[in-house]
Amino acid sequence: MTAKELGETIRNTRKAQGLTQPQLAMACGTGVRFIVDLEAGKETCQLGKALNVIQTLGLALDLRAIG
């Protein structure tokens, strides 16, 4: 998964739940700018905050070894 794909998944999930970016930011304790950057696939977003957003939206991140 790329940062862009992760951002798209987060954006689609947020919209499906009827949340605005400011509402999600408030629920996660982050700034709106962070949500905007994360949804845009910015690769330098902080991992801890991104994981918090994922959890807040009720998503799970599944890691597996490739190969």
Nearest to 14 by CA among 3, 26, 2: 26
- Cα–Cα distance for residue pair 7/11, rounded to 1 Å: 6
Token reading at 51: 């994981």
- Chosen CATH of 3-56 out of 1.10.490.10, 3.40.50.10470, 3.40.50.1220, 1.10.260.40: 1.10.260.40
- Region 41-54: mean pLDDT is 96
Q: What is the pLDDT of residues 4-44, one digit of tens each?
A: 999 999 999 999 999 999 999 999 999 999 999 999 999 99
Any idea of the CA torsion for 56, 37, 14, 3, to the nearest 10 degrees?
A: -80
For residue 21, what pLDDT is reported? 98
For residue 67, what pLDDT is reported? 82
For residue 1, what pLDDT is reported? 87
